[in-house]
Chain A
């Protein structure tokens, strides 16, 4: 063995041989490593090449200050607008009818209610929470509106403190073998015998009226135990309709509510905390939803809730789960949304519908995060869906700053989004709510 010879030249030989082979390989196609989605070519000299290719040309968009309000419905294509653009042609379901109702609150007492359908982007009352607070500060109202019995993101709620013993059986869009009628949020909860949920008001903003929403049960004497600020009583649940509303407390400000249920046959949808006047936004976020899951909602359930909630605006906001990197065929999404919009129209007649386009999503392109090329295509598709189906549209992607905004929101000194380059954090959600409110107010002048 020649181990006593100095092989100090060998490392250089190994490295140079490897570099030369790798450079040669960069011009040929290589087998792709399974499961990894790797490219079929390698690029060793990426750092010192003339241009690092960007998939889409960088076009920075800044929010125009003081946008002229104008008549929103006169804008033909909403893609390049930060305003809410209305494609509806029937005056009764135009955004203007919503704006009028909203403005009327300034002079006379009344209630304006908004349903916000979405995905994980709005979970834990993100966006809706801040928007509701701001709208209530202007137009009155107090309370978060509809709330579920249990949530995986209960800890993230800031509009009120929410916890439960997580023992509710949760049947939902993904897990519903018995085909129970699901609530608007996509869930129905059944007690496992000892289930409870607790809600505490924050900022001294006590709950004025509390209502419970339940389904049909064979047990006509079903009841729940309510503990309001440590005063316990039992409330018998109404059972005369398909969807039932039971008054838990009325005109008595409650700081902390604990609701327990031992009846395992009672379908519980959730509660609503609200005042008799003002603005309310019900958050119907269901993670993983492309919008297709919402088609499972039964017309009777929708009608049942519609009779209590009387929505003045329905917001539909999907996109994160529709986006698949490298696939921009959104034909199925177009069809799904058309069906869902139709379903909303049938079951919530008279309510204007506003579609919010997808937010920015970044993906890792060889080490740096840039906007997924599918995002602008998806947003254009959503704009087209809104136009074809004659509903209003708001381009969130454009309004939040356009291309590569998500990267800035994640990597900037102040973070507005999580490191999945997809979901906003509380700060980001509040920022979006602020921009959205600004657009709502501009559009109603």
Chain B
């Protein structure tokens, strides 16, 4: 009774309806309490409809489009336009017998998609380059980036290219295509889903077995912890202001911030992917894995097999291989790797920092391939125990990746070098005590995150298998504990930032 009274007194219908509209300052993300309630209501309707194939499809598509509207407003129109164009082009490509015309149609689709992406993502970057080079003063367009455009553009591209390559027959119903493109869990931050994997699931009656249920729960909870507990906490309480003014902080503070950021970017990105996969599993869909404990990698080649897998395999299939892959000699292979990573870097954002980040990874990948080739040819092998060799590899790879993150995170090239300068010339180990006393919660969360990250993938799979046998009450408790920790941390009083004394 008291509870009902409490709820009624505080609840505002106006506020509730206001929440249903897009709010530029508060776009919808999985990690909001509104989404939890929203998703709970969605599930009720979904349960009532899931057996009716067409209704289910329309409902899921409409919900996905609404979700997209809540996340990015009227930019939702672009996904509709993209779907109409690519659906029709894919059919034209499929039905065209003339090879040349087929190719032209495919290139039209590629150009249109890239044009859309370029307009929103890169116009201002090129305008500022023109301004810098020619001392002209062209006005920046400041269009704003439609959420998820980088992801669904790549899905569109792979779809039409695969139809062109004859890998599959295009879908017969527009709604199927629109659903594939807009499926809400993966719409905003991936994984980049391939049509061949997803389309066969569309008209299949959703089935959630024990395994699917426990994997969904595990992924959802791991996503919540990664995103809300680790990433958001480290960002708000440390990372954001060290990266904002690296010149005003000692080298040890900067290095600690780089380690924190390595965890932040991983948890942010993979946490979102985990939530997407978990939500999909719970409604009976499978989305491909996107991250596989990447900081456990002992080489940079291995890192890219474990980091943002859906992007790296996409780049391999639609950029690296068309460029020639490893078919035209070693030198060309290294060159192709470099170009792929350079463009991959540019995909992440329109700035020189991202291009440089891509170039660093491209160079490292090429060097790693070269190293492997030489070692194989010369039969060089260091006589070190396997475990030790791997540990050294992990430490070197992790630190190289961290070095690259500096360019990824810093707003300007100058700031990146300032940060590196502080780490190498102004380290100040003497302030370590003050640093870790002041930021103890940050340190605790970072260390815990790395320990969790060190859990072998096999152990995670085992845990998920065990969870499949849990009773429902245990599942509810597990979910509750994760939510409780996440909400507590979201509400926690932030640590007061200080400039370390010296």
Contact = CB atoms under 8 A, between A and B. Distances in A.
Interface of A: 1-19, 21-25, 27, 30, 33, 35-39, 42-51, 120, 123-124, 152-153, 155-156, 166, 170, 172, 174-175, 287-288, 321, 323-326, 363-364, 366-367, 418-423, 425
Given A174-B502, A420-B497, A14 B33 contact: no
Q: 3 tightest CB-CB pairs across the interface, nearest first?
A: A420-B241, A288-B501, A11-B282
Interface in B461-481: 468-469, 472, 475-476, 479-480
Nearest to B37: A19
Most-contacted residue by chain B among A8, A24, A153, A325 (CB, 10 A):
A8
B139 interface: no
B475 A14 contact: yes
B499 A50 contact: no
A8 B472 CA distance: 13
Given A7-B210, A49-B11, A420-B241, A27 B6 contact: yes
A25 B349 CA distance: 42
A71 B10 CA distance: 51
A36 B488 contact: yes
B33 A45 contact: yes
A170 B502 CA distance: 9
A288 B209 contact: no
Contacts of A366: 490-491
Contacts of B33: 44-47
A317 B468 CA distance: 62
Size class of the contact patch on chain B? 35 or more
Contact of A23 (B7, B39, B491, B493): B7
A368 B36 CA distance: 20
Contacts of B236: 364
Nearest to B15: A48
6 contacts: A3-B468, A11-B43, A24-B3, A33-B489, A156-B248, A321-B498
Given A366-B491, A423-B248, A287 B210 contact: no
Contacts of A153: 247-248
Nearest to B279: A11
B443 to A, nearest CB: 10
A419 B480 contact: no
B284 interface: yes
A120 B248 contact: yes
A15 B494 contact: no
Given A3-B210, A152-B250, 16 more contacts: A5-B209, A8-B208, A8-B284, A11-B213, A18-B476, A22-B484, A27-B6, A33-B488, A35-B444, A37-B441, A39-B491, A39-B492, A47-B33, A120-B499, A174-B501, A321-B498
A189 B296 CA distance: 45
A395 B32 CA distance: 39
B487 A3 contact: no
Interface in B435-451: 440-441, 444
Contacts of B207: 6, 8
Nearest to A153: B248
A92 B3 CA distance: 67
B151 interface: no
Contact of A8 (B206, B490, B495): B206
B381 interface: no
A423 B10 contact: no
A248 B225 CA distance: 61
Interface in B177-232: 206-213, 216-217
A2 B468 CA distance: 10
Contacts of B492: 33, 36-39
Interface in B249-290: 250, 282-284
Contacts of A9: 47
A7 B247 contact: no
Contacts of A50: 10-12, 15
Given A3-B468, A22-B483, A419-B240, A16 B40 contact: yes
Contacts of A321: 498
Contacts of B211: 3
B16 interface: yes
A8 B47 contact: yes
Contacts of B472: 10, 13-14
A6 B245 CA distance: 54
Contacts of B174: none
Contacts of B283: 8, 11
A419 B241 contact: yes
Contact of B247 (A6, A155, A326, A419): A155
A301 to B, nearest CB: 20
A48 B19 contact: yes
Nearest to B26: A47
